[in-house]
């Protein structure tokens, strides 16, 4: 007896496979995370993120030009300040490095590609936490909200089209929406890091932004517990109710079930962050000749799309966009 079903018919040629593919992956689906450092003359390579740099303003512009030429959908900016303090005041300083860079990108690129600003305090606080601390060393949620509001307004004034709160404080989206609207920035989009897990995969990022959490601390008191799945939906629904325009799941590969759940339950645009550790693992195995890194990168980014994300924040943005464009 021959099998009645012959799925292999549809796999016979590249043209057939392309025609029946359920998922697409193209440069416009990528948002590139970029780091810009204050007071630096030369870009500095980030060893745990091969191909990535703490940029100067001018190397940042060059990189964004290349990303734009490759058709990438957007960029998300992280500032690396020279000085940090207890409150993270560099985050909302109009002369702070992120604001300087946003203004400068706005001047060159206008609305030609989507410029996003990560909105958090950890790059700017001396203790490395995402919010301000109480005297007992725990993060004060509500005092932090006010500072997030100020930061959002500073980023909007500097020309960010999207602000992306990543600190996982309760009520952060609502507080930021109110602050933006009160300042006349009704059009600024909020992309919420809605389901952000306390993950071991952020290591290379901390090198990239020079963040070390004081006293061997961690973020388990505000980021989500990787054992929890339903909780992600509660977090994301709360963000949408508070006015999030786009929601994110982070990290990506270890949380594809969450991406799939949120896709099924919510009707707002959804993205996932393929984080620094995910990139570093592929790069390291590739450098050892253990895997074909481009093939694995495309497979992983496709998986994120297949799970239901509309777009992906990824350190592979430029490399894979250029590869797809060949």
Q: Count the site residues for ligand PBG by CB under 6 A.
A: 10
CA 144 to chain centre: 20
Interface pick for ligand PBG out of 63, 93, 122, 235 (rule CB under 6 A): 122
CB of 65: closest distance to ligand PBG in angstroms?
A: 23
Work out which of 35, 205, 222, 311 binds ligand PBG, going by CB under 6 A.
Answer: 205
Stretch that binds ligand PBG, among 39-47, 53-61, 116-124, 150-158 (CB under 6 A): 116-124
- Select from 35, 87, 148, 202 the one that contacts ligand PBG (CB under 6 A): 202
For ligand PBG, the binding residue among 276, 280, 304, 308 (CB under 6 A) is 276
CB of 202 to ligand PBG, least distance (A): 4
* Radius of gyration over every alpha carbon of the chain, rounded to an integer in angstroms: 20
Residues forming the active site: 196, 250
Task: Check residue 32 for interaction with ligand PBG (CB under 6 A).
Answer: no
Residue placing its CB nearer to ligand PBG in the complex, 61 or 219: 219
Does residue 148 touch ligand PBG according to CB under 6 A? no
- Non-local (6+) Cβ contacts of 290 within 8 A are none
In this structure, the chain runs to a length of: 326
- Looking at the Cβ atoms of 122 and 293, the one nearer to ligand PBG is 122
Q: Which of 72, 75, 275, 280 binds ligand PBG (CB under 6 A)?
A: 275
| Among 38-46, 115-123, 261-269, 280-288, the segment contacting ligand PBG (CB under 6 A) | 115-123
Residues from 223 through 242 that contact ligand PBG (CB under 6 A): none
**Residues interacting with ligand PBG, by CB under 6 A?**
118, 120, 122, 130, 166, 202, 205, 219, 275-276
């Amino acid at each position: 007896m021959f099998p009645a079903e012959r799925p292999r018919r549809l796999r016979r040629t590249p043209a057939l496979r392309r025609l029946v593919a359920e998922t697409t992956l193209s440069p416009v689906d990528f948002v590139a995370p970029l780091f810009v450092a204050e007071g630096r003359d030369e870009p500095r390579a980030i060893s745990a993120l091969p191909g990535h740099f703490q940029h100067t303003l001018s190397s940042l512009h060059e990189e964004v030009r290349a990303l734009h030429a490759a058709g990438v959908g957007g960029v998300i900016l992280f500032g690396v300040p020279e000085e940090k303090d207890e409150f993270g005041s560099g985050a909302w300083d109009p002369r702070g490095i992120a604001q300087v860079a946003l203004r400068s990108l706005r001047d060159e690129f206008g609305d030609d590609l989507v410029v996003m600003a990560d909105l958090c305090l950890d790059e700017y606080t001396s203790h490395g936490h995402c919010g301000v601390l109480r005297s007992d060393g725990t993060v004060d949620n509500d005092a932090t909200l006010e500072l997030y509001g100020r930061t959002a307004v500073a980023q909007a004034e500097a020309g960010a089209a999207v602000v992306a709160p990543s600190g996982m404080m309760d009520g952060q989206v609502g507080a930021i929406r109110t602050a933006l609207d009160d300042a006349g920035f009704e059009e600024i989009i909020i992309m919420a890091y809605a389901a952000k897990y306390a993950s071991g995969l952020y290591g290379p990022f901390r090198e990239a932004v020079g963040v070390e959490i004081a006293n061997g601390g961690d973020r388990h008191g505000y980021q989500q517990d990787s054992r929890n799945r339903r909780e992600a939906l509660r977090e994301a629904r709360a963000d949408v109710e508070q006015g999030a325009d786009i929601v994110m799941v982070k990290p990506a590969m270890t949380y594809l079930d969450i991406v799939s759940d949120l896709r099924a339950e919510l009707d707002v645009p959804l993205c996932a962050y393929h984080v620094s550790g995910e990139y570093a693992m592929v790069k390291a195995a590739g450098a050892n000749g253990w895997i074909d890194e481009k093939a694995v990168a495309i497979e992983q980014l496709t998986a994120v799309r297949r799970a239901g994300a509309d777009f992906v924040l990824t350190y592979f943005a430029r490399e894979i966009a250029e590869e797809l464009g060949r």
